[in-house]
Each structure stands twice: as structure tokens, then as C-alpha cells.
Amino acid sequence: MTDVIDGNAVASDIRTALTDSIDTLAEAGETPTLATVLMSDDPASETYVSMKQNDCEEVGIDALDIHIDPDAPAQELYDTIDDLNEDDDVNGILVQMPVPDHVDQREVLRRIDPEKDVDGFHPENVGRLVAGDARYKPCTPHGIQKLLDSAGVDPEGKDAVIVGRSDIVGKPMANLLLQKTDGGNATVTVCHSRTDDLAEKTRQADIVIAAVGVPEIVDGSMLSEGTTVIDVGVNRVDADTEKGYELVGDVDFESAQEKASAITPVPGGVGPMTRAMLLYNTVKAAGRQTGIDVALP
């Protein structure tokens, strides 16, 4: 039987465990606070921010919801980040991507105080991750590590193939799996749009992590028996449904399930974990900044 990894259940367990950490902070008079900054009128981005705000409320994290007109000058966003950096009551800052074209995304990431960069994308935090001394692990890759652990899959000594080389998932995922520590010690191959014969690479893998944003690019014919499959993709495709579309992953679930020993669904797999690990990083940031020792799940 293929184990369908329930990301909702694992994320729920993490959120429950985080409430104990938040109680520890509360006993010392501290409440973790996350500031979300949205400079977009994209409905999907608005939904993501709303979900993150709701997650914070559920576990007892204070949330600041900041909206900036997408037509406003880039400097307005930069000034907002500067103000949040200086606010001692704010522990974490998340700027919802993408930002408008006239805003320099790299400047946004550089502008955030690395101690408050709960996404883990500031160059300093990226460097610490690569060096094996992560301050905050990026949320999606860290969530994938937690999913693998929940499924009893130890990457040590295994061949892992990552399909996708984004700064958000592919690159940090490769670095985490390479680390000489628990949850790492894998032999990692990173594939991308220029990879010749992707199927040849994925068939050699014990673990396949698909994070390229192409609907169902990986199917069962590209997998060996017993592979663990983690599907990061969330793609909207036309379908005969009430909404006129459905969400599918980067993996053809039905055919892959026939080969995989464990697999994540879309939705309900990696997505909930990304949000849970954002809460995790915010609580960790609050502990670091206040000097309060908090246990993290």
C-alpha cells in the first residue's frame, strides 16, 4: 500500500506543539508577532496572506496585516520594511511575493533584518544555510523535511532528485538534504529545464521532489518501485468543474501512486506545511530576539 502523506495532519501536529512554545513566551510576557506586507491586488496573494493571518490567530501569534497600493512608489515598501525592522514588537517580517515590476525584489529581501527574515531568503540567511548553520530554514524545504520524517523516510545514504532549481524550494532543499546532520546526508541531484532525459535521473532516485511548476511533468513511468515522491507544485488547469479549473501538482498522482511507497497529494500535502513552518520560524525568532529558551517541535 502506498502511504499518502497527510500534510494537513502533520501541520496540525506542529501547530499544536507550537502552542506550548508560545505559552512559554507568554509566561515571560512576550507574544510572537508576525508582520505580513502585501503590495499586490492579485487574488491568490490576498488569499495566501489571509490564510497566514488566520494561522497566526489560531496558535496565538499576533499578526500585523499591512497593505500597500501596488501603484505606490517602491520606496514606500522599503520604508515600511525599515519601520518594521525598528519595531521591537515585531519578530518576523514576510513580504508576500511577487511584488510589482517596479519594485526590486532583491532589494526587498536585502532590506529585511536577517533576524526577522522568517522566510529565510535574506542573503545572510541563505549563506548560513549553505554553511550548515541555518538561522531560519526556508519554510517549504523545512516542511518537506518534516513530511519525510513523519513518513519514516530518512534521507541518509539515499539518492534524492529535485526537479526545479528555484531560490525558494529547489536550491535550499538541495542544501538541506546535503547537510551532515539529521534529515540530510543524501546524495542530491538537481534537475531543471535544461536537464537531458529527466526520466533517466528520476528513475535512479529513492526520493523525488518535484518543484518546477509544470503540471504533471513527473509520472509513474519516470519512477522506480518504492520511491518517495514529494509534490510541491500547485498548478491551475482547465477542468469541467464548477470553478472551471482544478488544482494539480507537478506529479501525475494516479500513475505515480502505483510506483511510490509514499507520496504527497495536491492539495493537502506540502502546502499546509509551508504555512506551519512560517509559524515555527516566527516563534523561533521571538525566542532568539527576547533571549527566552523555547522548545520547538
Q: Which residues are catalytic?
A: 52, 96, 119
Distances (CA, A) of 233 to 32, 213, 251, 257: 30, 5, 8, 16
Q: Where are the alpha helices (DSSP H) in the chain?
A: 7-27, 43-59, 74-86, 105-111, 123-130, 139-150, 170-178, 198-202, 253-257, 270-290
- Give yes or no for a contact between 47 and 41, defined as CB atoms under 8 angstroms apart: no
- Give yes or no for a contact between 121 and 198, defined as CB atoms under 8 angstroms apart: no
- Distance (Å, rounded) from C-alpha 39 to C-alpha 36? 10
Neighbours of 92 (CB within 10 A): 31
